[in-house]
Amino acid sequence: QVQLVESGGGLVQAGGSLRLSCAASGRTFSTYAMGWARQAPGKEREFVEAVNWSGANTYYADSVKGRFTISREAAKNAVYLQMNGLKPDDTAVYYCAVINNWPDGFGSWGRGTQVTVSS
């Protein structure tokens, strides 16, 4: 199990952008598939995006396709979520996670970072 810490959340107006970062510990970070999920108040946690161990393969939820982009930098033990064209429905706590079963089988989680999109 790796330790994951999310950052970069905040308050933004509809149509704005944010970039979330996930710092992961461990020398073997580059061997893990990684992903992002989110959870809004009163709702279940849902899959957002995933990237495989090499960074060459990605998977997107329909709700964010064309707006959100996942990427990773193994040398920095970091995973990113670039969010453009944000909508109020994107308001949620966003979590970085290790993926045990591609593409949406999540394992270890961080504590999350809050994203609030105002209308």
Q: What does the pLDDT average to over 34-56?
A: 93
Q: How far is CA 17 from CA 1, 55, 73, 75, in A?
A: 31, 22, 20, 25
Top pLDDT among 91 and 100 is at 91
Instruction: Give percent above pLDDT 90 in the chain.
Output: 74
Q: What does the pLDDT average to over 93-118?
A: 93
Write down the pLDDT at residue 27: 59
Q: What does the pLDDT average to over 110-115?
A: 96
Write down the pLDDT at residue 37: 97
